[in-house]
Structure 1
Amino acid sequence: MASTFHGLELGKRGLAVAQTSISTTGHNIANANTKGYSRQQVNQTASPALDVWANGSVNPSQLGQGALVESITRVRDRFLDAQYRDQSAAAGEWSVRQETLGRIEVAINEPSETGLRASMDQLSSAWQDVANDPMSGSAQVVLKERAEAFVQVAQSMDTSLGNITADLQLQQGAAVDEANGYLKQIAELNQSILQNGKNSNDLLDQRDVLVEQLSSLIPVKVTENKNGIYDISSADGKALVTGTDQVGTVVAADGKKGGKIAGINESLKAVEAYQTDLTAVVEKFATANGMGKADGLFASGTPFTIQNLKVNETATYKAPADLEANAKAAQSDFRTLVSKLGAQSQGSINAVANSEAALMATDNRRQSVTGISIDEEMANLIKYQHSYSAAARFVSTTDQMLDTIINRMAR
């Protein structure tokens, strides 16, 4: 037989469930604009029933005892989370590569009326004036000035490319340090989650934000254990976080494919390649202009570098017999370099647009699952408010019944 106070206990449970639902809804509303926050929901279940004897053929029957809060969990889609991390790595890589190629384009500065192509054309024109009047002092002076301008432009471009390399190396070190900082924080959060339980929702959100930031630097594989702990490894299987310990560190060499670190590594290779191609063009053009000869226009140390290139101070310059053909070959090589740079830059712009579009589409899908809708939460708030009011009314009604039994029937 049910207790006389069964109704009060049942109502009390209803109040508790409704109050928990209202509080959780309020928590969702308060964190609608919190980065990385996942919508939380109250999972309620029926309270274990009470066995009672009835007049029917099936005994004992069961009398319900209301509802209980089973858990408060985050609403997440692990598949979308993994997809987001993969696409974040791709977007992180291509954004760096596109930015670097853009900086290389600024350094190369073509097409331009003041770039290397223009200075080569002007130098060729000055040679024509010297050929028309070999003994003209003014033509020799103009030729020397054009040669000085060519050297200055070439050295400025080479310096700019060197500055890009130095900046990328600084970014590389900072990105590696940032990644290892995230690993340390993830291990610490694993420890906190282990102590507080795998339904420590706010801690889980903080950890997921760190994992996503890490994935923009280097592709990672995330394995969730039964106790809610994340094990983190790199894309090639290198263990980074196991349980509550950071067991590995990220180094620059880990950036092989995907992520900002990989983008920096590829960018360093690209700058080196263009700097090498530029050096070859300048050396070829300087050689065509008689570099190293007594009456040649240019001089340089050995091995050749753009920074060592200088104008020969010989008073009278004489054009090499094959100057025009060799100079045109160098100019053709430079046009090929510029065309290649333009094609790669456009390709990187397209890759960035595609990767960011895919990332945004995945994030929109994910937000539709885990994000906060104020309208939906307000509707839930009204629903739970009615549930609370109904449970309170049930308690009040039960109290009146008990008052009748205890106080009035005793008279």
Structure 2
Amino acid sequence: MTSTFHGLEVAKRGMMAQQTALYTTSQNIANANTPGYSRQRVNFVQTEPYPAASMNRPQIPGQMGTGVEAGSIERVREQFLDVQYRNENNKLGYWDSRSTALSRLEDVFAEPSDNDGLSAVMNEFWQSLQDLSVNPENEGARSVVLQRAQGVVDTFHYLSNSISDIQGDLGNQISVGIKDVNSILKQIAELNQQIGAVEPNGYLPNDLYDERDRLVDQLSTYLNVKVEKMPSGGNALDIAEGQYKITLLDANGNSIATLVDGSQFNQLGFSTEDGKYTSVVSGPIKNIEVYTTPNDPSQTESDPVAGIGVASIDFYTSGNVNFSQGKLRGLMESYGYQTSTDAGGNPIVAGIYPEMQDKLDQLAYTFGTLFNTVQKLGFDLEGNQASKDFFTNLSTIENAASNIQLNSDLQTKDIAASSNGLPGDGKNAINLGNIFSMDLSKDITLEGVKNSDGTPVILSVGKDPGDIDVPITTSTINSYYEGIIGGLGVASQQAQRLSNNSNSLVQSADERRQSVSSVSLDEEMTNLIKFQHAYNAAARNITVMDEMLDKVINGMGVVGR
């Protein structure tokens, strides 16, 4: 038969279970505004009924319940929503960094503009040449041409230097991002160690789970990673989440390298074209390397050169970035990366800023070279064949925009405005003013300029003997520059649109996740009242049992007194 005090024990267990639920509800309310916190709930479990099934059980009608207990306290979290959120967050990190980089480029070029952009400065220069063609002997007109030319040179310098400066900022962001990623990975590894020490004892370290997932959310901004759960072993509960194994994914979703495996983690580093771990600002990124603890005990983890370990992951494959989207990839594609090498072993670089710098260099080199060519075909103010270059420091296409200079030896009288050296002739100034609109895909006939046999001078650009060797050969300088600005505008608009779309998807995924995991004060207050009434009812049950026992003990057995 059951114990006389069976009812007291059942009521006591009910009070303790509801008290645990009240404590958990208080924890949820206290952390309603804590970032990354997932609401917790108590899993009530019936205690073993009496009697146990056996051959010698007492003869009572069936089994009797013995109460309730708090089986476990688990957090409310949906893993599928976490994966969805991190995927969208990864895309947002990529498009946001790319959009920002393109937006900064647009700010540098400031096109279309009536006063600040390169096209406005060029138009002023061409206009000064047109004015000179009308008054070729006018000293003031000649002086304005030189001043406008200096304005063009200064604008090329400004654009080139601004691109280099922002590219340096992007390199610094990459370096900071790498440090942030390494810090996150190290913290996750430490949390894995703590979780691995707690779970085998049968506990659920919910707060450690929350902090680890918060760090993984941060990591997903930088890199596309896959999270796998590894059991901790021992007496861990079935609902224990275990330790995280985090791997880096390539563009096809395949694992490249393990970043965190249990309590271990690998350090990320980046190499430049010389193959050494140096400042990322010094050159295009060649590959991404995973570093382990240094092999040389005299070195530290902050010196990855000594600790190249697990793998060297190619940052590119056949000219394409190898690992999937994320903030780091967006920064690297903007900053520039080495895709391969040419026949001479020199790096071939791709990326938004290197390509924009290269286009600007081609523009400056083509413009300066053509202008010098047409300048030398004309005659100066004294009627002599021009012999001085108008622009200097154009020995190579590379860095032409930052190197181009107005010839310091050039004087106003040296401007070759005349096509024949005769007074009042300004046809070569017209030719100089038309350089911006010359169709470089066709032969160019210069107005008034003739060969020694009296035939018109015809210029051709290209690689054939006698041609002017310039990089722009399929369009006018004007249309080439318009193509640069147009392409930049389209790319920036697309990046901004996809950034906005990704942000909307991130917010949507986060809202769905919060609807499951976040603390609702209304719901918690309802639970508070529910558990309070259950506690009061259990306490009332004890009072009833006490009154019954009092009657049995003190109110019975008094016959015959």
TM-score bucket of the superposed structures, by smaller chain: over 0.9
State the alpha-carbon separation in 2 of the partners of residues 10 and 220 from structure 1.
49
For residues 226-262 of structure 1, the C-alpha deviation after alignment (integer angstroms, 9 at most, x for no partner) is 331111111142111111121x223344573211101
For residues 51-77 of structure 1, the C-alpha deviation after alignment (integer angstroms, 9 at most, x for no partner) is 164465xxxx21100111111001111
How far off is 1:324 after superposition? 4.7
Structure 1 pair 179–55 and aligned structure 2 pair: CA distance change class (3 A): closer
Amino acid paired to 2:403: N
Amino acid paired to 1:221: K
Aligned counterpart, 1:46: 46
Aligned counterpart, 2:520: 373
Give the match's secondary structure for 1:208: helix
Aligned counterpart, 1:239: 258
Amino acid paired to 1:387: A
Aligned counterpart, 2:204: 199
Aligned counterpart, 2:179: 177
TM-score (normalised: structure 2):
0.70
How far off is 1:115 after superposition? 1.3
Give yes or no for contact 1:120–1:331 (8 Å, CA) kept in 2. Answer: no
Give the match's secondary structure for 1:70: strand
Give yes or no for contact 2:85–2:506 (8 Å, CA) kept in 1. Answer: yes
Q: Are positions 1:280 and 2:362 aligned together?
A: yes
Q: Are positions 1:307 and 2:416 aligned together?
A: no
Aligned counterpart, 1:271: 353
Aligned counterpart, 2:555: 408
Structure 1 pair 116–144 and aligned structure 2 pair: CA distance change class (3 A): same
How far off is 1:98 after superposition? 0.5
For residues 107-156 of structure 1, the C-alpha deviation after alignment (integer angstroms, 9 at most, x for no partner) is 11111122110111111111112222322222211100000001111111
Instruction: Please list every run of 5 or more consecutive structure 2 residues that lacks an aligned counterpart in the other structure.
Output: 52-56, 233-241, 271-286, 289-314, 316-322, 336-350, 377-386, 418-427, 438-475
Aligned counterpart, 1:327: 436
Aligned counterpart, 2:78: 77
Higher normalized helix content (fraction of residues): 1
State the alpha-carbon separation in 1 of the partners of residues 129 and 393 from structure 2.
20
Aligned counterpart, 1:224: 229
State the alpha-carbon separation in 2 of the partners of residues 84 and 150 from structure 1.
49
Matches within 5 A, 1:99-178: 99-112=100-113, 113-178=115-180
Instruction: Please list every run of 5 or more consecutive structure 1 residues that lacks an aligned counterpart in the other structure.
Output: none
How far off is 1:216 after superposition? 0.6
Structure 1 pair 296–317 and aligned structure 2 pair: CA distance change class (3 A): farther
Give yes or no for contact 1:144–1:297 (8 Å, CA) kept in 2. Answer: no
Give yes or no for contact 2:393–2:403 (8 Å, CA) kept in 1. Answer: yes
State the alpha-carbon separation in 2 of the partners of residues 64 and 114 from structure 1.
85
Give yes or no for contact 1:288–1:322 (8 Å, CA) kept in 2. Answer: no
Give the match's secondary structure for 1:166: helix
Worse-matched range after superposition: 299-308 or 41-50: 299-308
Match of 1:187 among 182, 186, 189: 189
Aligned counterpart, 1:391: 538
Aligned counterpart, 1:298: 391
Higher normalized strand content (fraction of residues): 2
Structure 1 pair 18–257 and aligned structure 2 pair: CA distance change class (3 A): same
Structure 1 pair 98–226 and aligned structure 2 pair: CA distance change class (3 A): same
Give the match's secondary structure for 1:63: coil
What is the RMSD of the two structures over their aligned residues, measured on CA atoms? 1.7
State the alpha-carbon separation in 1 of the partners of residues 396 and 92 from structure 2.
40
Worse-matched range after superposition: 352-361 or 218-227: 218-227
Give yes or no for contact 2:99–2:495 (8 Å, CA) kept in 1. Answer: yes
The count of corresponding residues between Structure 1 and Structure 2 is 406
State the alpha-carbon separation in 1 of the partners of residues 261 and 101 from structure 2.
35
Give the match's secondary structure for 2:116: coil
Amino acid paired to 1:108: F
Give yes or no for contact 2:191–2:208 (8 Å, CA) kept in 1. Answer: yes
Aligned counterpart, 1:249: 267
State the alpha-carbon separation in 2 of the partners of residues 181 and 330 from structure 1.
49
Give yes or no for contact 2:10–2:67 (8 Å, CA) kept in 1. Answer: yes
Give yes or no for contact 1:15–1:391 (8 Å, CA) kept in 2. Answer: yes
Amino acid paired to 1:121: N
Amino acid paired to 1:41: R
For residues 304-360 of structure 1, the C-alpha deviation after alignment (integer angstroms, 9 at most, x for no partner) is 422221112322111568545542211211111011111011001101011011111
Aligned counterpart, 2:89: 88
For residues 15-61 of structure 1, the C-alpha deviation after alignment (integer angstroms, 9 at most, x for no partner) is 011001111011111111110000101001111001164465xxxx2
For residues 270-326 of structure 1, the C-alpha deviation after alignment (integer angstroms, 9 at most, x for no partner) is 011111111111222222321695344211242242222111232211156854554
Give yes or no for contact 1:295–1:318 (8 Å, CA) kept in 2. Answer: no
Give yes or no for contact 1:93–1:260 (8 Å, CA) kept in 2. Answer: yes
By relative contact order (CA 8 Å, sep 6+), the higher-ranking structure is 1
Worse-matched range after superposition: 293-302 or 221-230: 293-302
Give yes or no for contact 2:50–2:65 (8 Å, CA) kept in 1. Answer: yes
Give yes or no for contact 1:15–1:388 (8 Å, CA) kept in 2. Answer: yes
Give yes or no for contact 1:288–1:327 (8 Å, CA) kept in 2. Answer: no
